Amino acid sequence: MIYFCIPSHNEAATVGLVLWKIRRLLEDTSREYQLLVGDDGSTDATQEVLEPYLNALPLTVLRSPTHIGYAATIERLLRETLKRSDRHKRDAAILLPADLSADIDMLPELLKRLDSGADVIIGEAYTDSHATGASRMVRQWAGRILGRPVRIQGVRDVVSGYSAMRLVAIRHGFRGRQGAWLKTEGWAANAELHAWAASGARRVEVVPVTERQDRRERLSRHEPWARAKELWAARRSLVAPPRPEFATTDRTPRAATAKEAA
């Protein structure tokens, strides 16, 4: 079973399209999947947009009556996957944003890596031509700003919001973590998640993902210097996970699709 974990806060314009694209991508396969949307106290039309999908798709909406934040939302989604699954070594969670900032076409490569035995696959984002120089620089330096606690050998983009994680890696990685799993917010929370999950993984791999800045509805959410300040402030809250017992990293480039080869 693949659990698609989609945190959403006021993403009514795109969240339905993300769900439909996932469905179209998987409709000709026999792969079992569930869609889990974490509606983080949205005040727009998100609830109304999701309503018709509840009957058409294997969809569950975990709605918070108030805004609890990105980190708490993704933690809630991941804990739900662990509770639902009775085969943590086989099943996996895929984390995707609800803003359609990445093409869903990268999903087959994530699934392919899972099928080949990888436990954690991080989608390293490469910004498109719409990104400003400041945005590119902050993204490039984000991991270094956060420092050693979230460093993963061979992984450039630890703050990526696109990843696939076998549930056993999440369970093993966070088993000694007291209280809330994630102590920071935003990009720093992504870095925490990946570092701790990687500590419970046997194989960590990466795949490239093109991030489309022109698809973002509210660019003010992603103002680069504000993000840089948030990353710097998050350093004091970060704790390194236990030393990985057996994780290795494979940076083998993904195979080109037939469409790319053409």
The band of 223, judged by pLDDT with boundaries at 50, 70 and 90, is confident
In order of 90, 152, 244, the CA distances from 167 in angstroms are: 8, 19, 16
For residues 213 and 130, what is the distance between their CA atoms, to the nearest angstrom? 6
Which residues are CB-contacts of 7 (< 8 A; sequence separation ≥ 6)?
37, 38, 40, 70, 73, 74, 77, 95, 97, 98
The string of DSSP letters for 24-42 reads: HHHTTS---EEEEEEEES-
Beta strand ranges found along 173-253 (DSSP E) = 203-211, 248-250
Report how far Cα 141 is from the mean position of its chain's Cα atoms. 19
Residue holding tokens 């087959």?
108
**Furthest C-alpha separation in the chain:** 50
The per-residue pLDDT for range 5-38, each reduced to its tens digit, is 999 999 999 999 999 999 999 988 889 999 999 9
Which helix (H) or strand (E) is 63 found in, with range?
A: strand 59-64
**What are the φ and ψ backbone dihedral angles of 48, each rounded to 5 degrees?**
-70, -35
Handedness of CA 21, 211, 5, 123 (dihedral sign): positive
pLDDT grade, residue 258 (50/70/90)?
Answer: very low
Q: Based on C-alpha coordinates, what's the Rg of the chain? A: 17
Nearest to 144 by CA among 163, 124, 160, 158: 158
pLDDT tens for 38-68 read: 999 999 999 999 999 999 999 999 999 999 9
* Cβ proximity of 82 and 91 under 8 Å: no
Q: How many CA atoms lie within 13 A of 105 on its CB side?
A: 12
Residue 50's φ and ψ, nearest 5 degrees, are -75, -20
Q: What is the pTM (predicted TM-score) of this model?
A: 0.88
The yes-or-no verdict on residue 245 having pLDDT over 50 is yes
Distance CA 50, CA 12 (A): 8
CA distance 42 to 142: 28
Q: How far apart are CA 261 and CA 130, in angstroms?
A: 24
The band of 167, judged by pLDDT with boundaries at 50, 70 and 90, is very high
Q: Does residue 247 carry a pLDDT above 70?
A: no
Q: Which fold has domain 2-250?
A: Spore Coat Polysaccharide Biosynthesis Protein SpsA; Chain A (3.90.550)
Q: Which amino acid is at 114?
A: L
How large is the average pLDDT for residues 184-199? 95
- Whether the CA torsion 107, 8, 128, 162 is positive or negative: it is negative
Give the residue from 39, 49, 169 showing the smallest Cα distance to 117. Answer: 169
